[in-house]
Structure formats: structure tokens, C-alpha cells
Amino acid sequence: MLKVFPRIFLIGPMGAGKTTVGRRLAQVLRREFLDSDHEIEQRAGANIPLIFDLEGEEGFRAREKAVIADLTQRHDIILATGGGAVLDADNRRCLAGRGFVVYLYASVDEQLHRTHLDTNRPLLQTADPRARLAQLFVQRDPLYREVADCVVSTESRPLKQVMRDILRCIEYDQS
């Protein structure tokens, strides 16, 4: 029988599939699914683009930090974080110290393919979204790897295969 951590956190870049994978993982493990970006929107009463417009990225990151500090203390959850959650050292400590962290990896090309029509991503509202994704990848990939207990590629892979890899990681770590 698979023993599972009380908290599993999904990290990775935008478009890696954290929300999709998180929802499915929560179903399989019979856990509550939480998404830090959705929680921020709910608490603020505004969507992320509006928060960015009114408070800038700094204001958004302050809200994100409070949400991560809170949600990472809940038991029996699957938490999908925003792509930039790892930028804050306190967030990284909360994630690494309070649960099992899965880095869902996707290349810049895959991220661009998955996000190119999404207008709800303020950091991609630029003349060259690919260059922006590449810049974010260079900055964030080492931070994702720093806190990850395992890395699972979502690159051109079906959800079922990604799930199998995550469940293997959890099982392996528990043996």
C-alpha cells in the first residue's frame, strides 16, 4: 500500500500542468486540491491581472507569500503553486520543510505552446513571450530544483504517465 505525505506541493513554470495534475492527483489520493493562485484571487476579490495592475508584481508576491505560508500548513492537501512562488526564500523554506515537493518540468517551447492563448498571465503580456519564458526559466529552474524532492517531466506526455511517475516518486521516497 502506498504511504503518502500529508502535504504534496506541485511547483514548476506556468504551463507545466500543475493545476491539471494537481486536480487528478487529489482525486487519486482522495485529498483536497488547492491552487495558490486561485486562493490569492479569492482572498483579494480580484483576478491576478488586476492585482498586477493595481499593486504590481511586488504586491502580488506579498499576497502569494501569505497564502503559501498558510496553505502549506494544511494537512491532506495537494497544492499547486504559482510559477514564481519559489522566488521568495521563505516560500521555498515552507515548501521544502512542510511537504513532498514535485517539480513539474516543461521546456520553454512547451510552456509557450500551452500558454500562448492565455490572457490571464500578466508576465506574458509582452511583445516577445518566448523570450520572457526563457528568462523566467533561467531564473527559476535552479530554485525549483533546490526545493524539489522529485522532478517529473510533463513534456508532451499524457496525464496518466505523469501521474504514474509522481506516484512512483512518492512510493520510492517512502520505502
- Does some domain include residue 1? no
Q: What does the alpha-carbon distance between residue 100 and residue 147 come to, in Å, rounded to a whole number?
A: 9
Domain membership flag for residue 2: no
CATH number at residue 88: 3.40.50.300
Pick from 100, 111, 101, 97: nearest CA to 144: 101
* CA 144 – CA 141 distance, rounded (Å): 5
Give the count of domains, the chain. Answer: 1
pLDDT of the residue at 174: 45
3-state helix, strand and coil shares in percent for the chain, rounded to the nearest 5 = 60, 15, 25
Task: Tell me which residue has cell 517512502.
Answer: 174
| Structural domain includes residue 116 | yes
Please indicate, yes or no, if residue 143 is contained in any of the structural domains. Answer: yes
pLDDT beneath 70, residues of the chain: 1-4, 116-127, 172-175
Establish if 44 belongs to a structural domain: yes
13 occurs within a structural domain: yes
pLDDT tens readout for residues 12-44: 998 899 999 999 999 999 999 999 999 999 999
Dmax (CA) for the chain in angstroms is 50
Q: Residue 92 sits in which domain range?
A: 7-174
